[in-house]
Amino acid sequence: MLGWFKKRFWKEHVKLATQNKLAAEYLLEFEQLMEGMGSFEVTRPSVLQLNLDSSEAHLDDLRDGQALPPILANDAFGMNKDLRRLYDDMLSGRRAFASQFGSASEPLLPFDQKFTPNEGWSIYLDHFGRKLT
């Protein structure tokens, strides 16, 4: 019974770290686009880049099949909360723009739908950590 609980805990941590990585990549790309358009200038390492680096480190730690230590899990949960807030702010701006000027170029999906692996969680988790040959 305890093994089942550890496996479930590990799966939830993999989902969290993966979602953080996908969200950080998406928001970092949006930030770079805005910077390129002259909307603002980033002169220091982006917080989103730091989030992306942390998420990738968390995923590397999870490849051994063990859940994250509590301090790293808390870091991942806090990061997820911040990324959700940033995405929701961006999404509300894009929705306002779409209502004023027409439809958006991509579907405006909720956070949990937007940042899911293409193959779905079940297949992703089954293949997570396996080496490609």
Tens of pLDDT, residue by residue over 31-78, are: 887 776 665 555 455 788 999 999 999 999 999 889 999 999 999 999
Higher pLDDT, 70 or 96: 70
Separation of CA 30 from chain center: 14
Which residue has tokens 């991942």? Answer: 76
d(CA 117, CA 107): 16
Please check the confidence at residue 11 and state whether its pLDDT lies above 60.
Answer: yes
The single-letter code of the amino acid at 124 is: Y
* pTM metric for this prediction: 0.82
In this predicted structure, what is the pLDDT of residue 132? Answer: 43
In this predicted structure, what is the pLDDT of residue 103? Answer: 63
Tens of pLDDT, residue by residue over 18-28, are: 999 999 999 99
Which residue has tokens 């953080």? Answer: 20
The single-letter code of the amino acid at 20 is: N
